Structures are given as structure tokens and as C-alpha cells.
Structure 1
Amino acid sequence: MPNAEIILSERNPFDLTLKGVDKNFRLAIEEPTGFGRGTTKESQDLMRAMMTAHLLAPTMPENIYTNFDFHFSELLDAMYEYYGKKKPRIMKIGEGRVQPKIAGEADPEQSLRVATSHSGGLDSVYRIAKLLENKETPLAVHLRNLNFKGNAWEAEASREQCESWGVPYLQVKLRNSSGSTGFDTMKTRDLLLALVVAIQGAPNNVNQVLIEGGMGSDPRNYHFSESIEVWSWFNGLLKDIGLDVEVVGVDPGDIETIGEIIDLEKQLGITILPMVQNCFSAPFQMPNNRRKWERETPTIAQNSSDHWCGSCHKCRRMTLGRLFYHDPRLSGVSGEERGYFVKDTYDWIRKYPHNADLLSGSFMTHLELLGGIN
């Protein structure tokens, strides 16, 4: 795609449409309607630039036409250069410029030092648990519809978790037909997520935003939004635009994390693991996927989350950690059930070799050790 038009809605300052040849692609922040209140104009300009980058990531066109004043072209320049592309040209459409306003003023909010992106999955749950361990109550921000499936389920699980733990929870809802999926969405996903959390947390005086870690420096192995150098630049940019906040990536590890959460449940006196939104299976697939485990490993199945199919790599990760680190809820699991899980997981890896790319060294080490337990 050599050319692209990005059209900003006249009613919503965070509603962008990429006009395509055969179809349009849209990315909009629908809720809360006052998203961005109390932040600087520069913060809002950066949000639009980030949304534009997310829309353009799959195609990276050479020429970009907008109906609004586009600021922070350096963001697009950096993304294009990271992937070996020539910097794009950004031009205006017509004489008029769309400048929608945010309605209302920011209401005073509870002052909270830390905000964390919260998907309801194991890593985001771990971040909250560690903060609670340190007597820190965070603001949990869930960005709904960033992915293309399981969104209502994730949002409900996230809300229930935070209510149970006494953690303030806010949902930012996207309308997302951006066309940015798979590896394309990873190009900008974490930056988009962090900026949404930072802006949503501004009325709470948040000065630190926690997101998933696992960043690196090699462009061959890490996407733009996973680059350590990009994050260093981005944190400096946030300060420059008046968001006094630092984004920190938290890398909890893998199977060891589950053992740590089991200990935190005891220490904090709260239930965590059964509430984790952990599964890669679509809701309609889950009953069929669970049936085998209910038959072959009934104790494991009966004591697993409603968000557990048993068979995807995330659910196997959860079961492996709970068995290895002696989750008391699985104390009644027999050697036969444990052995079935280990054998079936090895068979699954052999049958679907592409899954090996999703499994860490920690996973394989713990699986081998669990298989050796009598």
C-alpha cells in the first residue's frame, strides 16, 4: 500500500479510520467517553499518533494523508526505520482540520501511585499480587478489544478479580477493526497499551505504569514495542509531554511464577489462581477440550478454573506449575493423573511441534522433573 488516508472523527478525538481500497479499518476509544480528560494536548496528540501507528503497522505505506494535525511523526519514523523502511511522508487532506474536543473536565480521583495493565491472565495477576504483597494498591486498567476474541470473557474475569482483591478497576473499551493481528499487532501493542494506561491513570496521579516485560534489543527477535531502546526513548517522551510517569516492564518468569503465586495466596489470604483468565481456547471450544481431562484427570479438572481447557499451552503451563509446586487444591491428585498429564503433554509437543516455540526452558525442565516424581 503506497498511500493511506487516516480520517479522524469529528465527534470523538480518539476515533481513527484507515481508508482502504476494499474496506476501511477503524480504531476508536469508545469508553470511557471522557478518556483523556485532565491530560495535556500533547498527550492527546501522542495518543492519536500511537493509534495511527497501530493502524499502519501491517502495511507501512509510503505516503500518509490525514484530516487532522499530525504530531509526533518521530514515532512513525522510528517504527519504519526499525523494520528497515523509509520514513513516511505525512500530508494533510484539504484546508480544514478536524479538531474534536474532549467533553467535560477531569474529576478528582483517588490518588494511586501505580497503575498496571490488566488482562486477567497469569502475568498481570502476578503484578497485582506482588504489589499487594508490598502494601501497594494499584489501579488496574483493562484495555478491552485489543485482541479479536474472548474480549467479553476477559473483561468480566478482570473485573471479578479486582473486586475480589479490593483493587480499583477501570475498563477502556476499543472499537477495533484495525486489521492489526498476529505479529503485526505486536509491532505497537505494548506501546499502545502503556499509553492508554498512563492517560487513564493521570487523574489518579499515577507515576508508574507496569506492563508485561520480556523486552530485548535484537530487531530480529523483538518487535518495535518490545525493544529496550524504544522504551527508553518512549519514557523520555512521556515526560516531555507532561505525563510524569515511567513505564516498567515486569518479567515474572514462567513456571516458577505459579509457585510464587501459591505462596502469595497463603501470605495475603486471598484466592488468585482459580480466578486467572488463562485459556487460549474460545469459550465454545472449552467444553469439548475439557471433556478428556474430566475423564482422565478428574481431580485436576474439578479443581481448575472455569477459564481452563486443559490442552492449550497456557492451561498446561498452569497445571504443570500447580502440580510441581504443590497447590493444596490439587493435593488429592493421584500419581496416575499426574503421569497422564506428563505423558499427554509430551505427546502434544510431538504431535504439534509448532507448540515448542511457545514453551520455555523452564516449562520443559519442570515437565521433566515432574515426570520423575514417584
Structure 2
Amino acid sequence: MARREQHSATISLSERNPFDLTMTDLRGVHRMAIEEPLMFGEGTSKETQDLMRSMMAAHMAGPMMPEKIQTNFPIHFPELLYELYEYYGHKKPRIEKLQAQIRPVIRKTNTEREEYDQATTHSGGLDSVYRIVKLLEQGETPLAVHLKNLNAKGNFRESMASEEQCKAWGVPYVSVRLRNGSGSSGFETMRTRDLLLALTVAVQAAPNKVKRVLLEGDMGSSKDYHFSENLNIWKWFNKVLKETGLDLEVVGVDAGDIETIGEVIELEKKLGFSILPMVQNCFSAAFQVGNNRRKWERETPKIAELSSYHWCGSCLKCRRMTLGRIYYADPRFRNITKEEISYFVTDTYKWLEKYQNNADLISKSFLTHLAALAT
């Protein structure tokens, strides 16, 4: 019997940047690096920085799950890879050292930073905006950390929006710039994405003495959830963070769906400043937005006029926003006609029928609120 060829990958660490990895596998060459802040990792322990590299390696290996991984640096937390592989029914990978090894530089500093009780992952979308303004309502100011280039598209708009939001609301903001040619994209990126995001924010914010790192919730304990969405994995991961010297906890905040828009409308009234128009959630590419808006400008001119220029109006995220604003009586929509509302509802039902591949993304909340407007 012919021996099956083993799928292997080589992950190499740069000599210049202790958070710059290059992976070579059967798909080609992939690179992932944290490029800014230039001293990312400073003020954290050697163990924490080792964990960050292991997390980056797991994110790169996640889509293909190579059976053998060769590295030119020590993987001090192989259990992260072992847990990931086991979760998806794979055998533990063989982790081998290449002959030429690099000893990662440990970034140290005595620079003091302003202290914050909480840090939050901040993409500029509705859920991350909700986390910030909810804390502001409670009299707390978090440190907002944006991981730039985490997603396959929309990164520039998210980066600009997240920074503008924090500037407008008086929230301290830090951007961590990721060079993301990791090869981890699409549905499979969720295997490790949220763990990578949370750990990046934890490493950046740890010198600020934060006690909690907040990120989007929607987690569960069944295998229907991805590795980075599983509650049991998060319990384990929080223990690992403590073991490396990170005196903090990652907490998922479930903002809900259409109801969240209603809550934000009420928060605008309480806090006295504009929130919803600054949200950046649109799925459409920048060059598609104008063309997609034209239908709404023609058929629902008032809705289009009162919707931010960076919303296309047609994607799931934009329809979600319009639906919530109508249902929860956004004051800006006070003069929207019944005809425009009727057109939006009818068109959305047609859209659901036409794009049934979106079914997994449509929440019960979305359908319930849409049905209520249809009656």
C-alpha cells in the first residue's frame, strides 16, 4: 500500500520582529506580522509574548491543520495547537524544530501608561460601538483597541470609522496594525480569529493595568460553535492568560441583534450625542456602495437621505440597521412615509428569497422584527 503523503508546514520567525511569522505549506507562502505599535508586547512577560507567537502560529495553521509543523523558534504553548486540532477531530500535530533556531527578542520597558479598568476590541461596527457607549452610560471610559487588517476586506473604512468614533466620544484609542497574509480567511478564520483578537488586545492593554478585555459575545458550549466561539475554550484560555502573568479576564458581551439598535437609539438620547450615523457595518466594497444606494435614493429617498453615505442600504448589515431604526422609531426617521417603509419591507422579503445562501446569517430577531413591520 502506498504511503500517504504527509501534509506539513514550516513556520519561520523573523530575526528583526518577534511577532513576524512566515508560513510555507502546500498552498504557498503566507506572512503574518504585528507591525505597529513598534514595541508591541512591551511591558508583558516573556511567557505572554511566547503565547502571542503560539497564537499567531495557530491562526496560520488553522485552515489546513498540517500534520507536521517545523519552526525556527520554540512553540512554548503547543497545547494551544493540540486543543485546536482535537476540537476539529484531528490528531495532534508533530511540532519539530528546524536546525537553525532563532531566540525571540523579549520586549521590555519601564514606560508608565495611563490606567484603565477595561479595554474593548473595537472594529467600528454596531456591536463594538454598543460596548463602548454602554460603558460610557455607566460612567466608565474604556481603552478601545482596533486590530487593523484582521478581516479580508473593509479594513480601511473600519479603521477610519473606529478612530473617528473614539475621537468624537472622548474615548482613548489605540490601533494595532497587522500585516495579514496569513491565509486564514472566510468561514475557517473563525476557528481562531476571536482568540487572536482578544489576545492582541490583552497584550496591548496589559501595561494599562486593565482587568477585563471585552469582545463580541454570541458564544456557546456545543460543537456547533467554532473553537474561538466556544465557552469551554474561553474558560481554558483565560486560565492560560493568568499563567503567563496577564492579570485580566476576557469577557464576551452579547449585544443581541435588532434590539441593539433600539438600545443605541435610547443611549443617544441619554448621552446627548450622535452614535448610529458613525457606525461602520456595511458588507459592500467601497466601490459598490454608490451603485447599491441608487435604488434606495430612487425608491426610498428619505430613508436614503437619513442613512450615512457609507451604508449601501442593500447588504444584511445595512438592512439590519434600517429595520431597527424603523421599528424602534429613530427620531431621524420621524417623517418617513408608510410607502417607503412598505417598499423596504417588501424588498427585504424579496432579497431573502433571492439570496437564500444568507440564511445562516439571518437571525430570528431579524425575521421577527421584519414580520412585525409587515403587519
- Shorter-chain TM-score range: over 0.9
Given that 1:34 and 1:102 are in contact with CA atoms closer than 8 Å, whether structure 2 keeps it comes out as no
Query: Which of 346, 350, 355 is equivalent to 1:352?
Result: 355
2:338 aligned with 1:335: yes
Give the whole-Å Cα distance in 2 for the aligned partners of 1:93 and 1:347: 56
SS in 2 for 1:284: helix
1:204 corresponds to which residue? 208
Given that 2:46 and 2:106 are in contact with CA atoms closer than 8 Å, whether structure 1 keeps it comes out as no
Percent of aligned positions with the same letter in both sequences? 64
2:312 corresponds to which residue? 309
Given that 1:49 and 1:73 are in contact with CA atoms closer than 8 Å, whether structure 2 keeps it comes out as yes
SS in 2 for 1:108: coil
Aligned pairs (5 A) from 1:47-86: 47-86=52-91
Shift of residue 102, structure 1, vs aligned partner? 5.0
Q: 1:272 is aligned with what amino acid?
A: I
Deviations 1:186-219 (A, max 9, x none): 0000000000000110111011000000111111
* Unpaired runs of at least 5, structure 1: none
Q: 1:213 is aligned with what amino acid?
A: G
2:255 aligned with 1:252: yes
2:290 aligned with 1:287: yes
Give the whole-Å Cα distance in 2 for the aligned partners of 1:199 and 1:357: 33
Deviations 1:219-265 (A, max 9, x none): 1x110000110000000111111000100000111111000000000
Shift of residue 106, structure 1, vs aligned partner? 4.7
Shift of residue 184, structure 1, vs aligned partner? 1.3
Give the whole-Å Cα distance in 2 for the aligned partners of 1:106 and 1:22: 42
Give the whole-Å Cα distance in 2 for the aligned partners of 1:223 and 1:185: 9
Give the whole-Å Cα distance in 2 for the aligned partners of 1:104 and 1:356: 48
1:169 corresponds to which residue? 173
Q: 1:53 is aligned with what amino acid?
A: A
Q: 2:61 is aligned with what amino acid?
A: L
Query: Which of 165, 181, 184 is equivalent to 1:180?
Result: 184
Shift of residue 22, structure 1, vs aligned partner? 5.5
2:25 aligned with 1:20: yes
Give the whole-Å Cα distance in 1 for the aligned partners of 2:138 and 2:356: 41
2:143 corresponds to which residue? 139
2:203 aligned with 1:193: no
Structure 1 residues 102 and 156, CA gap change in structure 2 (3 angstroms): farther
Deviations 1:29-65 (A, max 9, x none): 0111100000000000000000000000011111111
SS in 1 for 2:259: helix
SS in 2 for 1:197: helix
* Unpaired runs of at least 5, structure 2: 1-5
Structure 2 length normalisation: TM-score? 0.97
Give the whole-Å Cα distance in 2 for the aligned partners of 1:20 and 1:233: 29
Give the whole-Å Cα distance in 2 for the aligned partners of 1:247 and 1:98: 31
SS in 1 for 2:201: helix
Aligned pairs (5 A) from 1:25-174: 25-94=30-99, 96-101=100-105, 105-174=109-178
Give the whole-Å Cα distance in 2 for the aligned partners of 1:71 and 1:186: 23
Moved over 6 A (4+): none
Q: 1:222 is aligned with what amino acid?
A: Y
Q: How many residues align?
A: 370
Structure 1 length normalisation: TM-score? 0.97
2:242 aligned with 1:216: no
Structure 1 residues 192 and 22, CA gap change in structure 2 (3 angstroms): closer
2:3 corresponds to which residue? none
2:274 aligned with 1:232: no
Instruction: Name the stretch that deviates more: 192-201 or 357-366.
Output: 357-366
Q: 2:163 is aligned with what amino acid?
A: R
Q: 2:73 is aligned with what amino acid?
A: F
Shift of residue 21, structure 1, vs aligned partner? 4.1
Shift of residue 306, structure 1, vs aligned partner? 2.4
Structure 1 residues 103 and 49, CA gap change in structure 2 (3 angstroms): closer
Deviations 1:248-292 (A, max 9, x none): 000111111000000000001111000000100000000000000
Given that 1:35 and 1:102 are in contact with CA atoms closer than 8 Å, whether structure 2 keeps it comes out as no
Deviations 1:100-147 (A, max 9, x none): 425562521110010000000000000001110111100000001111
Give the whole-Å Cα distance in 2 for the aligned partners of 1:207 and 1:323: 38
Q: 1:238 is aligned with what amino acid?
A: L
